[in-house]
Amino acid sequence: MKRLSFPLLSATLLLLGCAKSPEKLRELAVQDFVRNRVSDPKNYFPGKFRYQPYTRRDSLLYLAQLARINGQPAPPAPTPADSVRIGTLVYHDYRDEMRNGVKVVDSGEYVVRPNGVVRLLIAESIRLKRLPK
């Protein structure tokens, strides 16, 4: 029995160690999203990642800012029930090297849903500049 328990324990630890953390899965989803949109996927070099919970309230406030920028009616105001987490906001910076050798350093804000779907957001700094005074 003892001879069987050590290999079984080792195999279990190995399988658990290979499972990717939620942060790593989000990173991979964002990297795949960005890699498919840069000049050449092999010239994409990921930088730092920062994470923040993203709730329905955050989504409604984002849509309200976009509505103000575009002169459209605002979505419904958030309620206390809208504090449910619907994803993770990922801040990511990266480097993209063009085929002609030009290096571009860029960043983006992305929402990664629990099912792995990635949405690109307009950066907060740009939204704030575009909001009517």
Which tokens is 18 given? 């290979």
d(CA 107, CA 93): 4
pLDDT at 7 over 60: no
Bigger pLDDT: 99 vs 8: 99
On whether the CB atoms of residues 87 and 56 are closer than 8 A, the answer is no
Range of the domain at 123: 22-130
In a domain, 5, yes or no: no
In a domain, 1, yes or no: no
pLDDT at 67 over 90: yes
In a domain, 11, yes or no: no
pLDDT at 1 over 80: no
* pLDDT for res 20: 80
- Taking alpha carbons only, the member of 61, 76, 72 closest to residue 128 is 61
Q: How many domains does the chain have?
A: 1
* pLDDT for res 60: 95
In a domain, 14, yes or no: no
